[in-house]
Amino acid sequence: MMGLMQQQPLLISTLIKHAERHHGDAAVVSRRIEGDIHRYTWSEAAARARRVANALDGMELAPSERVATLAWNGYRHLELYFGVSGSGRVLHTINPRLLPEQIAWITNHAKDSVLCFDLTFLLIVQQIHAKCRSIRHYVALCDADRLPRDTGIPGLMSYEAWIDAQSDAYEWPSFDENAASSLCYTSGTTGDPKGALYSHRSTLLHAFATALPDAMSLSARDAVLPVVPMFHVNAWGLPYSAALAGCKLVFPGPALDGKSVYELIEGERVTFAAGVPTVWQMLLNHVKEKSLRFSTLARTVIGGAACPPAMIKSFREDYGVEVLHAWGMTEMSPVGTLCTLKNRQLGLPPAEQEAVRLKQGRALFGVDMKIADRDGHELPWDGKDQGNLLVKGPWVVREYFKGAGGDPLVNGWFPTGDVATIDSDGFMQITDRSKDVIKSGGEWISSIEIENIAMAHPAVAMAACIGVKHPKWDERPIVVVVKKAGATVTREELLKFFEGKTAKWQVPDDVVFVDAIPLGSTGKMLKAGLREMLNEYCLPSLRR
């Protein structure tokens, strides 16, 4: 016997329809590339998204054709999120921090038909358009009177002129919820980038799950600031979950420095923000330096890289802001786990609670996870055994776009490339990426643990731990450190700082001070780049 409930596909257009009808007056505020603040409402966003859909129909774009973006977080990008996917095309967000040739490669691989870009990236588009074989239309995300002349970009038009010519009456089409909705390429630290192709169904289920109380706990009373870029895994799904919950949305545009982000948080009474640790470090530095307070910010999701314990502590204890440590990846839409305490843990002494908050957290409903040893045998959830982390669920990739890299699954599970422990309460903790873990004398040393200790030293601004070849131990850890401006600390002082904080054999063999640690296109430390930088390096014990 079948159930007798209505069949309604889970489509991205239903989110914008809901936001317009039930939260039409909620604000969407954006800092523009010109520096000024633009504000309107969800209902105006919905009307303009319908114009986008009509404009794409006008270009005779078939269902599933790709519309690419090179854009900051802002209202026009939001309209494309809904106008492109809602009308049955695929939104392909490209990370503008990639090299121009990588961007050209990606647009060709994705066979993008349209490219919409912020004028910040005009130079990139001028450099690559001749190589982008599939792109038929170029749209600059600007007013008609700001459209640059003589760019050499064929048929370049302004977004405002493009959608102004359209009606805002549009009937969102209904189709299979498994249809592709958006495309995001992994940053490709190893080999060519691979595309994760999300569906309407996966996007909606992810939005439901991330909005829940033990996840991001989004509500119509929240003002949400996605500092995480809309080109980085759909800003962790926030444009969708904010529409679902009816939140006010606040977009930072290109201004990600501490001062600009702080002003937006205070000015727009932001209650919830999300971003990678490097951005929050800039914010905390600004707030500390100027002795400021947060008057409305209550929660912040920090993920994409391990959040240093000192950051969680400072947000919580100095500023009363709850940090939700989260873990995920492009292949997971991206959220897999979030760290919110269970009732039992609220009764734990502060130090033990702190140790829990450091973990990457519990799996969302919809994500299953396990850890396995090298031979694929599942390991116990005892918080000690560490193994390769595998996941599955309706918003985890089954295969990459165009079958790149072959079948990624192992018996139906997606291997994340991360190494982790899981404790008996189900809290997962990443100890490393499998390629960064340091193998010393047959034992594994967590580079994240070493970095966390170094980062707790008051003179350290940034720390990266890498393994260096050793004839006896295979590898030994060293820690590469950027000092805070004006701070002093010696190699010996820093090594002493490790005493009692980790097992003796895990203490790094050396400290190397550098001016900067190379960062990747999503703001994460680039360990491969760092190893290259130090390829002449020799451990002190091996020097003659």
Q: Which of 313, 444, 484, 501 is catalytic?
A: 444
Q: Mapping DSSP to helix (H, G, I), strand (E, B) and coil, where does residue 291 land?
A: coil
Q: Is 263 one of the catalytic residues?
A: no
- Taking CB under 6 A as the criterion, the residue among 208, 237, 522, 523 binding ligand ADP is 522
> What does residue 170 show for φ and ψ, rounded to 5 degrees?
-160, 135
Measured CA to CA in angstroms, residue 125 lies from 80, 135, 346 at distances of: 19, 11, 52
Per-residue interface string for the shown chain with ligand ADP, residues 186-215, x marking contact by CB under 6 A: xx-x--------------------------
Q: Is 439 one of the catalytic residues?
A: yes
State the nearest-atom distance from the C-beta of 424 to ligand ADP, in Å: 21
- Taking CB under 6 A as the criterion, the residue among 418, 449, 451, 510 binding ligand ADP is 418
Decide if 509 contacts 476 (C-beta within 8 A): yes
For residue 354, how far is the Cα from the chain centroid? 24
- Assess 417 for contact with ligand ADP (CB under 6 A): yes
State the nearest-atom distance from the C-beta of 360 to ligand ADP, in Å: 5
- Taking CB under 6 A as the criterion, the residue among 330, 333, 340, 440 binding ligand ADP is 330
Q: What is the DSSP string of 87-105?
A: TT-EEEE--TTS-HHHHHH
Decide if 303 contacts 359 (C-beta within 8 A): no
- Across the beta sheet with 414-422, the strand order is 368-372, 387-392, 414-422, 428-433
Q: Which of 265, 210, 262, 260 is nearest to 233 (CA)?
A: 210
For residues 497 and 489, give the distance between their C-alpha atoms in angstroms, rounded to a whole number: 11
Q: Is 505 one of the catalytic residues?
A: no
Q: How many CB atoms lie within 10 A of CB 409?
A: 15
Q: Which of 69, 93, 186, 416 is catalytic?
A: 186
For residues 348 and 382, give the distance between their C-alpha atoms in angstroms, rounded to a whole number: 18
User: Which range touches ligand ADP (CB under 6 A), out of 8-16, 48-56, 328-336, 500-508?
Assistant: 328-336
> What does residue 69 show for φ and ψ, rounded to 5 degrees?
-130, 145
Length of the chain: 544
State the nearest-atom distance from the C-beta of 105 to ligand ADP, in Å: 15
State the nearest-atom distance from the C-beta of 188 to ligand ADP, in Å: 7
State the nearest-atom distance from the C-beta of 20 to ligand ADP, in Å: 31
- Taking CB under 6 A as the criterion, the residue among 141, 228, 249, 306 binding ligand ADP is 306
User: Which range touches ligand ADP (CB under 6 A), out of 303-311, 345-353, 367-375, 536-544?
Assistant: 303-311
- Assess 521 for contact with ligand ADP (CB under 6 A): no
User: Which range touches ligand ADP (CB under 6 A), out of 119-127, 298-306, 308-316, 349-357?
Assistant: 298-306
- What is the token pair recorded at 315? 């947000």
State the nearest-atom distance from the C-beta of 320 to ligand ADP, in Å: 22
Q: Which of 20, 79, 331, 449 is catalytic?
A: 331
For residues 307 and 357, give the distance between their C-alpha atoms in angstroms, rounded to a whole number: 10
Nearer Cβ to ligand ADP (363/430): 430
Nearer Cβ to ligand ADP (156/196): 196
Q: How many CB atoms lie within 10 A of CB 12?
A: 30
- What is the token pair recorded at 214? 């033990």
DSSP 8-state symbol, 315: I
State the nearest-atom distance from the C-beta of 187 to ligand ADP, in Å: 3
Q: Which of 454, 448, 440 is nearest to 498 (CA)?
A: 454
- Taking CB under 6 A as the criterion, the residue among 19, 279, 428, 430 binding ligand ADP is 430
For residues 119 and 527, give the distance between their C-alpha atoms in angstroms, rounded to a whole number: 31
Nearer Cβ to ligand ADP (177/451): 451
Q: How many CB atoms lie within 10 A of CB 309?
A: 17
Nearer Cβ to ligand ADP (160/418): 418
Q: Which of 468, 479, 523, 520 is nearest to 502 (CA)?
A: 479
Residue spans of alpha helices (H) in 7-99? 12-23, 42-58, 75-86
- Taking CB under 6 A as the criterion, the residue among 86, 258, 303, 393 binding ligand ADP is 303
User: Which range touches ligand ADP (CB under 6 A), out of 79-87, 198-206, 302-310, 530-538?
Assistant: 302-310
Nearer Cβ to ligand ADP (271/522): 522
State the nearest-atom distance from the C-beta of 297 to ligand ADP, in Å: 20
Which DSSP helix (H) or strand (E) runs through 439? strand 438-440
User: Which range touches ligand ADP (CB under 6 A), out of 262-270, 413-421, 459-467, 525-533?
Assistant: 413-421
Asked, as a colleague might, if the bond just before 226 is cis with ω within 30 of 0, I would say no
- Assess 97 for contact with ligand ADP (CB under 6 A): no
- Assess 327 for contact with ligand ADP (CB under 6 A): yes
- Taking CB under 6 A as the criterion, the residue among 115, 249, 305, 465 binding ligand ADP is 305
- Assess 31 for contact with ligand ADP (CB under 6 A): no
What would you report as the CA-atom Rg of the chain, rounded to the nearest whole angstrom? 24
Q: Which residues are catalytic?
A: 186, 331, 439, 444
Kindly list the residues in this chain that would bind ligand ADP in the complex (CB under 6 A). 186-187, 189, 303-306, 325-330, 334, 360, 416-418, 430, 433, 522
